[in-house]
């Protein structure tokens, strides 16, 4: 994947994470899972399933955040490369 593609993916991830509907959905799902986990009368199988759902939900959020970070790194790399190129052109004039 090119740095430009990574930057575009990062922009898309940022748009999703910043979207009010996504934030609302994430919060509602998380609250529901945590609420179910707080029930005393859960059997071990259901508790494990809810815990797995909570971990999965967090994994999606973390994945999107990692994509954003990858885009930032790609943008820094492009900028670093441009800066070096500009310096070389200035020396070779």
pLDDT digits (tens, 9 = 90+) for 5-17: 999 999 999 999 9
Dmax over CA atoms of the chain, in Å, equals 77
pLDDT band at residue 89 using 50, 70 and 90 as cut-offs: confident
Q: What pLDDT is recorded for position 91?
A: 67
Q: What pLDDT is recorded for position 87?
A: 67
The model's pLDDT over 17-70, given as tens digits with 9 standing for 90+, comes to: 999 999 999 999 999 999 999 987 889 999 999 999 999 999 999 999 999 999
**Domain span at residue 84?**
3-91
Q: Which residue has the tokens 């994945």?
A: 63
Tokens representing 73 are 């790194």
Q: What pLDDT is recorded for position 11?
A: 96
Sign of CA dihedral 69, 71, 3, 81: negative
Global pTM exceeds 0.75: yes
Q: Which residue has the tokens 């759902």?
A: 53
In our burial notation (b when 16+ CB lie closer than 10 A, e otherwise), range 59-75 reads eeeeebeebbebbeebe
The closest alpha carbon to 68, from 20, 23, 21, 11, belongs to 11
- Domain count across the chain: 1
């Amino acid at each position: 994947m090119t740095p430009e593609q990574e930057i575009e993916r990062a922009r898309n991830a940022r748009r999703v994470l910043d979207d009010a509907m996504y934030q609302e959905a994430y919060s509602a799902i998380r609250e529901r899972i945590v609420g179910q986990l707080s029930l005393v009368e859960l059997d071990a199988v259901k508790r494990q399933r809810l815990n797995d759902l909570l971990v999965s939900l967090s994994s999606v959020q973390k994945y999107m955040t990692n994509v954003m970070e990858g885009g930032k790194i790609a943008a820094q790399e492009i900028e670093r490369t441009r800066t070096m190129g500009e310096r070389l052109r200035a020396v070779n004039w």
